[in-house]
């Protein structure tokens, strides 16, 4: 097989000795795919592995924090400025760790990384439930984020190893559906537990411990790559310096966007200093990746590919558009229409999530007949259309719920068609010498970091449009960004919005509601949080401004989709350029 950089993957059926063809495992020749013992898996064991990994993805993304914010704040004596750190700690730990786990998988092995992820997630859940202060809760939420990032990264790697590329789309969309389901169920479960005074909010974290018991077979099922045996000596080559610089860049940038215009003036020394620190950290990170790191967190040659850059930026802006729906859709219904938390979740989360899940799975069935990049173009077009239509409805006041649900379904369908298929395009056209493990996680990283940064931008736009009378959502908008591959998003309730990544999620990413755990938006549009009262004011100006900007984000992702290479994802054929 030729190894020229101009050649895309050629998938050749690899018959077994008796002439039969295996359907699961690494059976097609893929010059970028590692050799793994998954090739010996029977169809049943492959399905069990898929089910167990998907269940793990669902459990680590079940988060009922958002509808419980008011109760948690009152119980722990936290102020309204401190509560967003319940989400921010999770986000700031989990997001930068995703690319690092790709390197740790080589040094420690996928099986060890999965075990670490499960143990830290369980420990974080126990600690969060037992927390006596907001600082302790934020710390253990960060530990949960560490476990979440490990499971997210290893899930993508396992699916990359387990399935040939023409079957990977279905696997990715299954895990995306699990993410969407988690984002619907999480706040509903959280709200129900919080409303049950005999259990209390602590059980929204404790309940994750027995659920994690179902994941005990996972470390046994996960296999290490045969051509990359775990090597503790490889730890010394991991780019920990680059990782810490990446974290510093994200933290400084998100804090500047969070505090600017609220706690500090934009022209203040604190905000300017944070932006400068982010710039210096980013410049140093680039230097380290190019000239210093032996195994860089983000290999520079990855960014020499126009196709890869288009995938990264597309996911970055797609997440920004999605955040507008997750954050300001429910806020609009609660603030201007007076819906309850449960009603606003049903109005926004349900049609968006279900559409995302259904069309995401449907797109995997279309892959043998339609180029993956064409599905991405279709998806980003629908995303832009749905964003524009919903923005128009919001600007005209309270939209008809049936019509608004249709617009949400259009947006969800666009995300379902585009998110996971963009991941496949990236994997099918790896730059020469690229590591498939690293590439499997980079789109998820850009999806998460894009959501975190752009939702902070939208929060500033929202506050400015409302005369700074809007609520400070915190870095990431007080949003919980989870794993990068799932599709599907929903509005988290209780003022703090919740979403994951998908993508993911990927992919689905999202949230449902608690019936009474969220903010009580009375007729005076004010609410009490942690003993302080915040005037929400009319949200229509802020939501209109936020959605108008989200049209720009969606439009940019649509334009970037035309930069993707033509990609057939089906067995026995050369992938077209």
Residue written as token pair 């649509």: 558
Is residue 131 one of the residues assigned to a domain?
yes
| Three-state DSSP state, 3 | coil
Q: Determine the structural domain holding residue 287 and report its residue range.
A: 239-294
How far apart CA 279 and CA 575 sit, in angstroms, is: 39
Spatial separation of the C-alpha atoms in residues 36 and 241, rounded to whole Å: 30
CA 441 remoteness from chain centre: 11
Domain end point (choices 195, 223, 251):
223
Taking 70 as the threshold, does the pLDDT of residue 502 lie above it? Answer: no
Does residue 194 lie within any of the structural domains? Answer: yes
Residues 109 and 188 in one domain: yes
Which of 360, 330, 320 lies closest to 180 in space, CA to CA? Answer: 360
pLDDT of residue 525: 42
> What DSSP designation does 543 have?
H
Under a CB-based contact definition with an 8 Å cutoff, are residues 490 and 184 in contact?
yes
Query: Does 190 lie in the same domain as 253?
Result: no
E strand or H helix that includes residue 503: strand 502-506
326 is written with which tokens? 């997750």
What DSSP state is assigned to residue 289?
I
pLDDT of 128 above 70 = yes
Are residues 253 and 160 part of one domain?
A: no
- Euclidean distance between CA atoms 490 and 511, whole angstroms: 4
Task: Name the band, by pLDDT with cuts 50, 70 and 90, for residue 231.
Answer: low
How confident is the model over 186-194, as a mean pLDDT?
Answer: 77
CA 256 to chain centre: 22
282-326 residue pLDDT tens: 999 999 999 998 888 888 888 888 898 999 999 999 988 888 887
Same domain, 243 and 344: no
The per-residue pLDDT for 236 is 79
Q: Does residue 434 have a pLDDT over 60?
A: no
Scored b (16 or more CB within 10 A) or e, 201-211 reads bbbbbbbbeee
- Each residue's pLDDT tens digit, 416-427: 999 888 888 888
462 lies in the same domain as 567: yes
CA nearest to 442, candidates 304, 541, 572, 298 = 298
Instruction: Report how far apart, in Å, the C-alpha atoms of 239 and of each of 229, 288, 300, 303, 517 are.
Output: 19, 9, 13, 17, 42
**How much is the pLDDT for 342?**
56
Last residue of a domain, which of 196, 223, 250? 223
**Domain CATH number, residue 399:** 1.20.1250.20
- For residue 491, tell me if it sits in a domain: no
What does 450-463 look like in DSSP terms, one character per residue? HHHHHHHHHHHHHH
Same domain, 93 and 147: yes
pLDDT of the residue at 411? 94
Q: Are residues 444 and 558 in the same domain?
A: yes
Q: Return the residue matching tokens 């585009």.
A: 418
Inside any domain, residue 495 = no
Distance CA 471, CA 530 (A): 14
313: left (phi > 0), else alpha (psi -120 to 50), else beta? alpha
| Gap between the Cα atoms of 433 and 123, Å rounded | 38
Residue 528 bridge partners (DSSP): 533
Supply 330's token pair. 């429910």
Q: Is residue 329 part of a domain?
A: yes
Same domain, 174 and 100: yes
Tell me the three state secondary structure of residue 319: helix
Q: Using CB atoms within 10 Å of the CB of residue 77, give its burial: 0 to 12 exposed, 13 to 18 middle, 19+ buried.
A: exposed
* Structural domain contains residue 35: no
Chain centroid to CA 6: 31
- Answer whether residue 157 is part of any domain: yes
- Given a contact cutoff of 8 angstroms between Cβ atoms, the answer to whether 497 and 170 are in contact is no
pTM for the full predicted model: 0.75
Q: Using the predicted structure, report yes or no on whether residue 341 has a pLDDT greater than 90.
A: no
Above 90 in pLDDT, residue 67?
no
Same domain, 210 and 132: yes
Phi, psi angles (nearest 5°) of residue 309: -60, -40
Of the candidate ranges 109-123, 141-155, 179-193, the one whose mean pLDDT is the lowest = 179-193
Residue 106 — pLDDT band, cuts 50, 70, 90?
Answer: confident
Direct distance between the N- and C-terminal alpha carbons of the chain, in angstroms, rounded to an integer:
17
User: SS3 of 526, please?
Assistant: strand
What does the alpha-carbon distance between residue 122 and residue 212 come to, in Å, rounded to a whole number? 7
Shared domain check, 394 and 279: no
Structure tokens at 112: 């060890």
Q: Is the pLDDT of residue 571 over 60?
A: no
Which pLDDT score, from 0 to 100, does residue 283 have?
96
What's the sign of the alpha-carbon dihedral 331, 333, 336, 339? negative
Q: Are residues 311 and 449 in the same domain?
A: yes
Return the top range by mean pLDDT from 13-27, 175-189, 329-343: 175-189
Shared domain check, 543 and 401? yes
Is residue 380 domain-resident? yes
Among 71-75, 496-500, 510-514, 566-570, where is mean pLDDT lowest? 510-514
* Beta-carbon count within 10 A of 31 CB: 14
| Count of domains forming the chain | 3
Pull the structure tokens for residue 118: 């499960």
């Amino acid at each position: 097989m030729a190894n020229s950089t101009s050649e895309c993957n050629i998938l050749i059926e690899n018959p077994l000795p008796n002439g039969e063809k295996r359907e699961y495992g690494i059976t097609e020749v893929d010059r970028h795919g590692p050799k793994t013992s998954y090739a010996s898996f029977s169809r049943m064991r492959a399905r069990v592995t898929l089910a167990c990994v998907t269940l793990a993805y669902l459990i680590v993304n079940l988060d009922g924090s958002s509808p419980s914010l008011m109760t948690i704040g009152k119980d722990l004596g936290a102020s309204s400025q401190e509560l967003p750190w319940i989400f921010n700690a999770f986000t700031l730990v989990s997001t930068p760790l995703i690319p690092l786990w790709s390197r740790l998988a080589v040094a420690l092995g996928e099986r060890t990384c999965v075990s670490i992820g499960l143990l830290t997630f369980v420990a974080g859940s126990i600690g969060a439930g037992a927390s006596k202060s907001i600082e302790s809760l934020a710390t253990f939420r960060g530990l949960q984020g560490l476990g979440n990032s490990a499971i997210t990264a290893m899930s993508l790697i396992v699916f990359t190893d387990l399935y040939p590329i023409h079957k990977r789309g279905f696997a990715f969309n299954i895990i995306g559906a699990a993410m969407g389901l988690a984002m619907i169920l999480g706040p509903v479960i959280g709200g129900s537990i919080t409303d049950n005074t005999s259990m209390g909010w602590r059980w929204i974290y404790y309940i994750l411990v027995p659920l994690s018991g179902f994941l005990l077979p996972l470390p046994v099922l996960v296999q290490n790559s045969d051509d990359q045996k775990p090597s503790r000596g490889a730890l010394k080559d991991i780019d920990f310096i680059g990782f810490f610089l990446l974290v510093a860049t994200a933290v400084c940038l998100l804090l500047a966007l969070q505090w600017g215009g609220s706690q500090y003036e934009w022209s203040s020394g604190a905000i300017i200093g944070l932006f400068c620190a982010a710039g210096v950290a980013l410049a140093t990170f680039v230097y380290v990746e190019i000239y210093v790191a032996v195994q860089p967190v983000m290999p520079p040659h990855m960014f020499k590919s126009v196709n890869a850059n288009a995938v990264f930026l597309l996911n970055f802006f797609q997440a920004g558009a999605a955040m507008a729906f997750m954050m300001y859709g429910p806020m609009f219904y609660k603030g201007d229409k007076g819906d309850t938390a449960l009603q606003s979740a049903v109005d926004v989360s349900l049609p968006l999530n279900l559409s995302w899940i259904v069309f995401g799975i449907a797109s995997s069935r279309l892959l043998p007949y339609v180029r993956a990049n064409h599905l991405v173009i279709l998806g980003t077009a629908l995303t832009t259309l749905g964003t524009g239509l919903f923005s128009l409805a919001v600007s005209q006041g309270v939209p008809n719920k049936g019509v608004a649900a249709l617009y949400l379904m259009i947006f969800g369908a666009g995300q379902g068609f585009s998110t996971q298929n963009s991941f496949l395009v990236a994997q099918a056209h790896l730059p020469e010498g690229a590591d498939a493990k690293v590439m499997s996680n980079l789109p998820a990283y850009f999806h998460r970091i894009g959501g975190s940064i752009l939702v902070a931008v939208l929060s500033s736009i929202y506050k400015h449009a409302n005369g700074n009378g809007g609520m400070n959502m915190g870095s990431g908008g007080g949003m919980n960004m989870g794993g990068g591959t799932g599709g599907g998003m929903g509005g988290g309730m209780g003022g703090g919005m919740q979403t994951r990544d998908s993508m993911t999620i990927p992919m689905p990413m999202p949230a449902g509601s608690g019936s009474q755990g969220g903010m009580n938006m009375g007729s005076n549009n004010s609410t009490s949080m942690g003993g302080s009262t915040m005037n929400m004011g009319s949200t229509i100006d802020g939501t209109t401004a936020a959605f108008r900007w989200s049209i720009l984000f969606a439009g940019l992702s649509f334009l970037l989709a035309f930069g993707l290479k033509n990609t057939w994802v089906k067995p026995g054929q050369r992938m077209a350029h």
